Amino acid sequence: MPLNITEASLEAVRAEFRELYIKDAKSGRYHLELSDLKTYVETHVSPVENELKLTLENERRLILSAALRNANVSPEGDELLIGRLQRRLAIDTVDGKRVVSILAEDGTPLVGKGPRGLATIDDLMRETTVKFPSMFNGRGMPQVNNEDASEVASKSDFNSEKARAAWVKKHGLAAYLALPTAAVPKSISRKSDFKTEKDRAAFVDANGLSAYSALPD
């Protein structure tokens, strides 16, 4: 309800705003005292607005923190990524329910695998693990012992050309040439079934972070 400059009575004015009106002795009408309105906004409205902003910020942080933990974020990466990703979350109330939307870097809705082709929090986590692999446990760090032939299932398992050369020197060129280009995929029933982080990332990309998180250790 808008605040009118004058009112015949205060019955139509919300109770919290009535103190801003002064009755004119001649006309008997109530006039909105604009000089008092500025003070009222500063002392009553602004604190509430700031509190709402803090509440929204905390809501974003809680959502991101839970999603990052599910993605195995490292302790040092947690706070850094939350600060970076907060602006990628838009939270609104629709039909009495809180709805989270994922935004692209430019602030437009991000396309993804969710309803109506829009991105979900899982899509945002997939994007984040690809961009910042070193901030996640088991991502961006060697997980395969390239010196051990039993732990190398394919040529794609090597983390660097230096590791590849060291393996060939130890096990021979013939053994290296016998390796398949990529590991043969197998049925995945638990997190420990993944031989390489590349396989793990491919599974998450195809099935979603929720499906990966649901796998037993």
Based on C-alpha coordinates, what's the Rg of the chain? Answer: 29
- Look at residue 178 and tell me if it is in a domain: no
- Look at residue 60 and tell me if it is in a domain: no
Residue 146 confidence (pLDDT): 52
- Look at residue 27 and tell me if it is in a domain: yes
Mean pLDDT in each 10-residue stretch from start to end of the chain (217 residues)?
65 76 80 63 62 76 89 86 90 83 89 84 89 75 47 65 79 75 60 74 67 74
Residue 161 confidence (pLDDT): 74
Residue 174 confidence (pLDDT): 75
Residue 74 confidence (pLDDT): 87
- Look at residue 24 and tell me if it is in a domain: yes
Residue 28: domain span? 1-32
- Look at residue 6 and tell me if it is in a domain: yes
Residue 85 confidence (pLDDT): 92
Residue 176 confidence (pLDDT): 73
Report whether 190 contacts 169 (CB < 8 A).
Answer: no
Domains in the chain, number: 1
Q: Is 117 exposed, middle or buried (0-12, 13-18, 19+ CB in 10 A)?
A: exposed
Residue 137 confidence (pLDDT): 82
Residue 165 confidence (pLDDT): 80
Residue 141 confidence (pLDDT): 34
Identify the H or E element spanning 32: strand 30-32
Does the pTM surpass 0.75? The reply is: no
Residue 81 confidence (pLDDT): 92
Residue 143 confidence (pLDDT): 43
Report whether 85 contacts 128 (CB < 8 A).
Answer: yes
- Look at residue 3 and tell me if it is in a domain: yes
